[in-house]
Amino acid sequence: MLRTLEKSEQRVITYFSKHNIACAKGIFLAFLILTCLLLLLNQPALAADVTVKSVRVGLTPDYTRITLESNQPLQYELSMLDNPHRVIVDLSNIKPSPALATLPQKVNAIDPLVEKVRIGQFKPDVIRLVFDLKANVVPRTFVVAPKENYAHRLILDIYHPDKAAKTDSNANFEAGLGADSTADMLDELVATLIQGGKRPKASHTQPSRPLPKPQQASQSKQPTAGSQAAKNRKPMMVPRIIIVAIDPGHGGKDPGAVGYQGTHEKDVTLAIARKLKERIDKEPNMRAILTRTGDYYISLPQRRINARRANADLFVSIHADANPKSHAHGSSVFTLSEHGATSTTASWLADKENSVDNDLMGGIDITSKSKDIKELLLDLSLNATINDSVKLAEHVLKQLGDINHLHKKGVEQAGFAVLKSPDIPSILVETAFLSNPKEEEKLRNNTYQNKMADAVFVGIRNYFASNPALTRAEMAQVK
């Protein structure tokens, strides 16, 4: 009997012991759930503090660079997917922003690596960027701490596999595109000019040459089968694509000249620029980009920056200006002048066009450079560019003379700020004067707009036929 009571007592003690442990576990589990809920509820507030302020996409001969600038460091994961090739960037604890939403629009059709960009909410706290690719690539990422006027930056460089190897030793460099890389662009430009002394020339079938490798110490080596095969290998012929930046004058809040019938210059220039782009894009070895694609304002420096990001070989600005004298008529073609305007009309037009923005040497700051470097840029880069610009302008002016009266028989030169790119031949085409009622009527006519686009296109094509030159991408490789 006693043993039976002891067993019963032991069972009761065991029962309550087990249930106390289970109760403790339940309390602990509830505490964990409550903690997680509090963290999740607080997560949006944390994510809301991280915002992408601006995005930039730029092209170089070796890679496509995507820059995300944010007020705080971005948390990200990089991955790749095949079939088809894609680069994936997952941004954690970040909220959508208008700046980030503009990223897909910044991908250029001429980009050799990136087809398009898609943005989506992959998880509640993750925004996924998907880069659809045209070829297999090697992505590289690095971050840059706040510096000068720039906040935190996450930089993604998308390389062709053949171009990625040469950057292994300096993958964390800070060189950028656009306004935050003027010093780097200047140094590259100076190096090119020092090497050649002037803009190099080549035939249409110029093979792409790789950068020279540092010479090794002299050693006696027996030739191998691999080295013999390399000697016998023929240089690969790379298709030569010419990039033309077309700049429709004015836009948005800046209507430009206004004709007697209310015709706005910004509308005429955009219409002609679009027609010119259609003609250029039909050529197998030419592509065109527009500095603005709609009715919106864009500053003069930004127009040049857009051309540089596309590695443009030419810059053609389209205008339809006015003159204080209503009887003034005819078409004109301008290039940049070193010493000022060559006529009273050119001077007046230059002052008018430069009233919004004005700077020197295409926005590249050379104030911190030595006197020798400044003189080198002015003497070699600007002079060579102006010489090429004049040749281009002569071809275009000749074609314009077939469809309209010429305001001046020869190419005019003035200090237009939009033409001040030191290494891109640039011209400004005055299609006609909106201040002249007869020419305003022409500019409003679709047939005349087509004739104007045809004339400029034929002039560009003839320029390259008689003055073959390396594209900017090829020039970067020939050093």
What's the CA gap between 64 and 327, in Å, rounded?
Answer: 50
Alpha carbon 416 to chain centroid, angstroms? 22
Do residues 276 and 345 touch, judged by C-beta distance below 8 A?
A: no
pLDDT tens track for 232-288 = 444 444 446 889 999 999 999 999 999 999 999 999 999 999 999 999 999 888 899
Q: Are residues 400 and 262 in the same domain?
A: yes
Q: Residue 156: is its pLDDT beyond 90? A: yes
Q: Which of 143, 176, 209 is the last residue of a domain?
A: 176
Confidence band for 378, pLDDT divided at 50, 70 and 90: low
Strand partners, 317: 247, 428
Give mean pLDDT, residues 339-348. 53
Closest by alpha carbon to 331, among 398, 274, 267?
398
Given the structure tokens 């690095």, which residue do they identify?
A: 142
DSSP reduced 3-state for 93: coil
Quick one: 53 exposed, middle or buried, by C-beta within 10 A (0-12, 13-18, 19+)? middle
Q: Are residues 158 and 255 in the same domain?
A: no
- What is the predicted pLDDT for the residue at 160? 83
Strand partners, 242: 286
What's the CA gap between 349 and 328, in Å, rounded?
Answer: 13
Confidence band for 32, pLDDT divided at 50, 70 and 90: low
Q: Are residues 155 and 263 in the same domain?
A: no
Mean pLDDT value across the chain: 74
Range of the domain at 444: 242-477
Q: Are residues 300 and 406 in the same domain?
A: yes
Give mean pLDDT, residues 97-104. 90
Q: Which of 138, 156, 176 is the last residue of a domain?
A: 176
Q: Residue 409: is its pLDDT beyond 80? A: yes
Polymer length of the chain: 479
Quick one: 292 exposed, middle or buried, by C-beta within 10 A (0-12, 13-18, 19+)? buried
- What is the predicted pLDDT for the residue at 87? 94
Name, in order, each residue with C-beta under 8 angstroms of 356's C-beta and a sequence gap of 6 or more: 254, 299, 300
Cis peptide before 84 (omega within 30 of 0): yes
The Cα-based distances of 320 to 255, 257, 330, 430 in angstroms read 11, 7, 10, 5
Q: Are residues 160 and 274 in the same domain?
A: no
What's the CA gap between 427 and 420, in Å, rounded?
Answer: 10
Give mean pLDDT, residues 385-389. 86
Q: Are residues 471 and 342 in the same domain?
A: yes
Q: Are residues 312 and 424 in the same domain?
A: yes
DSSP label of 179: G
DSSP reduced 3-state for 253: coil
Look at 189 and 121; give whichever has higher pLDDT: 121
- Is residue 13 in some structural domain? no
Do residues 98 and 300 touch, judged by C-beta distance below 8 A?
A: no
Strand partners, 429: 318, 333
Q: Are residues 271 and 129 in the same domain?
A: no
- Is residue 5 in some structural domain? no
Q: Are residues 312 and 401 in the same domain?
A: yes
Do residues 47 and 121 touch, judged by C-beta distance below 8 A?
A: no
- What is the predicted pLDDT for the residue at 398? 94
Given the structure tokens 């088809």, which residue do they identify?
A: 84
Q: Residue 391: is its pLDDT beyond 50? A: yes
Q: Are residues 66 and 156 in the same domain?
A: yes
Do residues 291 and 270 touch, judged by C-beta distance below 8 A?
A: no
The Cα-based distances of 113 to 54, 62, 173 in angstroms read 22, 10, 21
Residue 288 CB neighbours (<10 A): 27
Q: How many CA atoms lie within 13 A of 242 on its CB side?
A: 27
Write the CATH number for 437.
3.40.630.40
Extract the tokens encoding 133. 């690719």
- What is the predicted pLDDT for the residue at 474? 46
Do residues 464 and 425 touch, judged by C-beta distance below 8 A?
A: no
- What is the predicted pLDDT for the residue at 340? 52
Look at 326 and 77; give whichever has higher pLDDT: 77
Which of 29-43, 110-124, 214-228, 327-341 is the least confident region?
214-228
Q: Mean pLDDT: which of 32-41, 136-145, 207-216, 358-367 is highest?
A: 136-145
**Domains in the chain: how many in total?**
2
What's the CA gap between 300 and 152, in Å, rounded?
Answer: 27
- Is residue 162 in some structural domain? yes
- Is residue 87 in some structural domain? yes
Q: Are residues 273 and 140 in the same domain?
A: no
Quick one: 460 exposed, middle or buried, by C-beta within 10 A (0-12, 13-18, 19+)? buried
- Is residue 463 in some structural domain? yes
Q: Which of 160, 176, 192 is the last residue of a domain?
A: 176
Write the CATH number for 76.
2.60.40.3500
- Is residue 130 in some structural domain? yes
Q: Are residues 168 and 281 in the same domain?
A: no
pTM, two decimal places: 0.52
- Is residue 44 in some structural domain? no
- What is the predicted pLDDT for the residue at 403? 92
Q: How many CA atoms lie within 13 A of 273 on its CB side?
A: 31
- Is residue 342 in some structural domain? yes
What's the CA gap between 154 and 31, in Å, rounded?
Answer: 38
Strands 138-144 and 126-133: unpaired
- What is the predicted pLDDT for the residue at 451? 95
